[in-house]
Amino acid sequence: MSVNLFEQHFDVSPEGTASAPGRVNLIGEFTDYNDGWVLPCALQFRCHVAWRRREDNTITAVSREYPDEIDSFQACDEYKPSTRPWANYIRAIVAALRSEGYVTQGIDLALWSDVPQGRGLSSSAALEVALLGALNSAFNWNIDGAEIAKLGQLSENAFIGCQCGIMDQLISTKAQPGAALLLDCQSLEAISVTIPKQWSIVILDSNYPRKLVDSEYNARRADCEAACAAMTIPSLRAADTQRLAACRDTLTATQYRRAAHVLEENKRVKATAAALQQADLAAVAEQLANGHHSLANHYEVTVPATDALVAIAKAELGNRVAARQTGGGFGGAVVCLCHRDDVPQLLNAVERDYTQRTGLKATTFVCEAGTGLEVNNNG
């Protein structure tokens, strides 16, 4: 497929290809910007990039998902946004590379992706990491995985204008097949945690129209920062339950609840990783249930639609399913883990009850834990 798309546009075969996955976060919500732990896993959905170097300095890109649009710019240009939003991701990667001293020459790029866009599965990180993998291979830079992830994050932070953490790019770069990654967002240490083969990852997108996401997200961050200031610590990583309790009078009730969520969520991430390793679904289910409860009551970022999806899953399968809202909140998706034999029953229950309870229709994805960045250089 890649090769066809590339050859159609450029009349020559590519020199190489790279691909990288989208992701879902199993648990560890709002812990990334508090220097804590997260437990994401890559999906089987991937973005692919085929490439061939050029003799000149022109970078040309096409995407299967945006047919009949070609973006072209000079490798040495300063970052100038394109009128095509998708093309800005490519320009942003080139700009991030340049800002770190890597200068590309001309290259032709064809990309295509089956990561659903704009659904919180991080199609943007998949694109960034695949593209960085392609350029790294094309120009022999030997950039390592952690640096690729940082460059992807930098491209979004500095050029796209999205203040994402590093989780998405790190999991997309480093994921091992069939495993989640226990990531320390402070040290960037990553430990692979196998997901039992018989389990499926089911993503239930609520399709709830998200509102006020950015302002509420920033308000939560500000609450955490205020809690740190009151406790005179650099980040919530440096806090523990005793310290938080001792400082209770210096915090507002809201700040206290936010900080308590983060401290407990860090514990849940580690407990979930341990339970996964033991293939103990009931224990994973308990952690995710507590996580969702805390998102609803302490961090206050769930909506009736995602609460309903969790309730439907639990009413149907009890502790045979682990379910919680995942992502930035105020809508988005619920992630579930269950035995693969239980997937039809889970999907059936959602189909039967969700619209009736909310008036909305869910979009569902049955997933398995995918592989991180893969690069193939024919040269």
Minimum distance of ligand ADP from residue 286's CB (angstroms) = 28
Collapsed DSSP state (helix, strand, coil) of residue 84: coil
Distance CA 350, CA 363 (A): 10
Residue of the chain from 24, 38, 42, 47 that contacts ligand ADP (CB under 6 A): 47
85-99 helix and 145-154 helix, angle to the nearest 10 degrees: 120
Tell whether residue 51 is a contact of ligand ADP (CB under 6 A).
no
Distance CA 157, CA 226 (A): 23
Q: Give the nearer residue to ligand ADP in terms of CB position, either 2 or 31.
A: 2
Residue of the chain from 118, 140, 234, 242 that contacts ligand ADP (CB under 6 A): 118
- Tokens 């350029």, residue located: 135
Residue of the chain from 96, 127, 224, 303 that contacts ligand ADP (CB under 6 A): 127
- Token readout for 225 is 């920062």
- As a dihedral over the C-alpha atoms of residue 333, residue 157, residue 19, residue 332, rounded to 10 degrees, the angle is 10
Question: Among 95-103, 120-128, 200-208, 214-222, which window interacts with ligand ADP (CB under 6 A)?
Answer: 120-128
Q: Give the nearer residue to ligand ADP in terms of CB position, either 285 or 335.
A: 335
Binding mask 247-276 for Mg ion (x = CB under 5 A): ------------------------------
Distance CA 176, CA 352 (A): 35
Binding mask 269-308 for Mg ion (x = CB under 5 A): ----------------------------------------
Residue of 71, 108, 168, 342 with catalytic role: 168
Active site residue 168: yes
Q: Give the nearer residue to ligand ADP in terms of CB position, either 113 or 325.
A: 113
Buried/exposed 171-201: b ≥16 CB within 10 Å, e otherwise = bbbbbbebbbbbbebeeeebeebebbeebbb
- Token readout for 114 is 């089956």
Residue of the chain from 124, 137, 266, 326 that contacts Mg ion (CB under 5 A): 124
Q: Looking at the chain, list the stretches that DSSP marks H as alpha helix, in order from N- to C-terminal side.
A: 2-10, 85-99, 123-138, 145-154, 167-174, 213-231, 241-246, 253-277, 281-297, 304-317, 343-358
Q: Which does 94 bind (CB under 5 to 8 A by kind): ligand ADP, Mg ion, none?
A: none
Q: Which residues are catalytic?
A: 168
For binding to Mg ion (CB under 5 A), which residues are involved? 122, 124
